[in-house]
Structure 1
Amino acid sequence: MKAALQNYHARMQRVLDHIDRHLDDDLDLETVSGVAAFSKFHFHRQFTATFGLSVHRYIQLARMKRASHRLAYRDAQSVTEIAMDAGYDAPDAFARAFRQRFGQSPSTFRKSPDWEPWLAAFGPLDNARSKFMQKSFTTDDVTIRYVPPTPVAITEHRGDPATLGATIQRFIAWRTAAGLHPRTNPTFNVWRSERRPASPADYSVDLCVGTDQPIAVNGDEIKAGEIPGGRCAVLRVVGNTDNLEPAALYLYRDWLPLSGEEARDFPIYCQRLSFFPEVPEHEAVAELFLPLK
């Protein structure tokens, strides 16, 4: 029974990966059910029973999530291009659907996103992605690596995680203006609090870009700093890199007690190696670093 259930979940995961990879294509029921090798007459009910929303709704949300990321964090594409990529025949149809879901027009969202309704709208999508699809890790997935010290420019986020998107926008705008592209300058997140602290006001994370250039300190916007060198336990995560908490919990709860190692006095952090929406969500890659003595 366990093997059969694992096989069933693997087939459903294959469907999610296919949808992520083919958001620009015609994802009709026959095509999607064929990916899982399920009958098209039953697949829509199987999908809804497994993930809590219909195939059509899931695809709509996945396309809208990619569109909203492009609007908020990427200036190269016009609203019209983003609308077409999201499967809409005309910008006004996209604008109506976007406003209905987020309470803002696409152009207004691009200038000044209201993040709370955005987060609420994608709750069902995030739940669907995580249901039955939790990653499991083993000691073979963890390597110990010596990491050289890395000078970084830092944008600090302090306060409610619901407003993190606005901090990310400022960070991207600054690094773009400074010519620090992700392909040439590594991107790090340093967590200085729990992912969900008791009070949202206590949430704390540093957004960092590695650079040897002198950093012109800009008030609270940009600071110069360093990720210290030393030994680190490193765990690579592929897919669903929005939530690295399960990987961090594995390192702290399972790997560290069995390893005989001790954590060093520096927070856990990650390097983001590939990003959504440049790659499909299931292909995004991050490496989690637990500093060791």
Structure 2
Amino acid sequence: MKAALENYHARMQRVLDHIEQHLDDDLGLDVLSGVAAFSKYHFHRQFMSTFGLSVHRYVQLARMKRASYRLAYTDTQSVTDIAMDAGYDAPDAFARAFRQRFGQSPSSFRKSPDWEPWLAAFGPFDNARSKRMQKNFTTNDVTIRDVVPTRIAFMEHRGDPAMIGATIKRFIAWRKAAGLHPRTHPTFTVWHSERHPASPADYSMDLCVGTDQPVEVKGEQVKAGEIPGGRCAVLRVVGNTDNLEPAALYLYRDWLPASGEEARDFPMYCQRLSLFPQVPEHEAAADLFLPLK
């Protein structure tokens, strides 16, 4: 029974992986049931029972997530091009679907995203993804590095984590104006609180860019600082880097007690190596750093 269940989960996992890696291709029932090696007459029911939403809706949400990220965080594509990439034949059809789902037109969302209805709309999608088998990290995935100090400019986010998207948008706009491109200036996130503190108002994190140049504020609350050097346990995560909590829990809860190491007095942080939507979500990568004594 255990082997059969693992095989079943592996087949469903293949479907989700295929969707992420082929968002621009045909993702109809015939194709995805073939990926799962299930009868197409039962596959859609099996998918619904496993993930809580239909395969058609899952694909729509995956494409809409990429579209909304491109609208909010990039300006290299027109709304029309984004609509086509999301699988819509015409911009007006995309606009109607977008407004129905998020309560804003694509153009309005690009200018000033309202993240609360966006998060609510993606609740079923996030729940479905959370049911995927999580990667099981091992000690072989962790390396210990001697890290050099890195001078940074950083923007604070304090308060409800649901509003991080607005801070990210401001941070991207500021670093573009400052000429601090991710290809030449590394991107970091430093966490000062848990992912889900008892009160959302207590959530605290910094968005950082590596630079040794003087920080020009340009109307934003940007500060100068430093990520200190020293020994760090490093765990690389590839794929959905929106949620690094499973990797962080592995480092703190499993790896650290068994390693005999002690944590240093600096928060856990990550370096964003490649960012969605600049790369497909399954190619996004981040190194998670746990500072050690």
TM-score of the two chains, using structure 1 as the length reference:
0.97
> What are the Cα deviations for residues 183-233 of structure 1, in whole angstroms up to 9, with x where unaligned?
221110000011111111111110001112221245752111110000001
Q: 2:224 maps to what in 1?
A: 224
CA distance in 1, matches of 2:218, 2:265: 27
- 1:232-243 equivalences in 2 (<5 Å): 232-243=232-243
Q: 1:215 maps to what in 2?
A: 215
Contact 1:217/1:224, CA 8 A, preserved across alignment: no
Contact 2:192/2:267, CA 8 A, preserved across alignment: yes
Q: What SS is found at the alignment partner of 1:32?
A: helix
Q: 1:59 maps to what in 2?
A: 59
Q: 1:144 maps to what in 2?
A: 144
CA distance in 2, matches of 1:149, 1:161: 28
- Give 2:57's aligned amino acid: R
Q: What SS is found at the alignment partner of 2:135?
A: coil
Contact 2:13/2:132, CA 8 A, preserved across alignment: no
Contact 1:263/1:291, CA 8 A, preserved across alignment: yes
Q: What SS is found at the alignment partner of 2:62?
A: helix
CA distance in 2, matches of 1:138, 1:292: 18
> What are the Cα deviations for residues 10-61 of structure 1, in whole angstroms up to 9, with x where unaligned?
2211111111121112211111111122211111111111111111000010
CA distance in 1, matches of 2:269, 2:214: 23
- Give 1:10's aligned amino acid: A
**Which has the larger displacement, 282-291 or 57-66?**
282-291
Q: 2:286 maps to what in 1?
A: 286
Change (3 A) 1:231 1:281: same
Q: 1:3 maps to what in 2?
A: 3
- Give 1:133's aligned amino acid: M
Q: 1:128 maps to what in 2?
A: 128
Change (3 A) 1:283 1:4: farther
Contact 2:174/2:218, CA 8 A, preserved across alignment: no
Q: 1:203 maps to what in 2?
A: 203
- 1:118-197 equivalences in 2 (<5 Å): 118-197=118-197
Gaps spanning 5+ residues in structure 2: where?
A: none
Q: 2:256 maps to what in 1?
A: 256
- Count of residue pairs brought into register by the alignment: 293
CA deviation after TM superposition for structure 1 residue 278, in Å: 2.2
Q: Does 1:23 align with 2:23?
A: yes
Q: 1:244 maps to what in 2?
A: 244
CA distance in 2, matches of 1:252, 1:180: 32
Q: What SS is found at the alignment partner of 2:237?
A: strand
Contact 2:240/2:282, CA 8 A, preserved across alignment: yes
CA distance in 1, matches of 2:216, 2:281: 34
Change (3 A) 1:93 1:85: same
Q: What SS is found at the alignment partner of 1:289?
A: strand
Contact 2:178/2:216, CA 8 A, preserved across alignment: no
Q: What SS is found at the alignment partner of 2:146?
A: strand
CA distance in 2, matches of 1:200, 1:235: 27
Identity %: 84
Gaps spanning 5+ residues in structure 1: where?
A: none
Q: 1:95 maps to what in 2?
A: 95
Q: What SS is found at the alignment partner of 2:287?
A: strand
Moved beyond 3 Å, runs of 4+? 217-220
RMSD between aligned residues: 1.2
Q: What SS is found at the alignment partner of 1:190?
A: strand
Q: 1:69 maps to what in 2?
A: 69
- Give 1:75's aligned amino acid: D
CA distance in 1, matches of 2:120, 2:214: 40
- Give 2:130's aligned amino acid: S
Contact 2:73/2:169, CA 8 A, preserved across alignment: yes
- Give 1:144's aligned amino acid: I
Contact 1:15/1:36, CA 8 A, preserved across alignment: yes
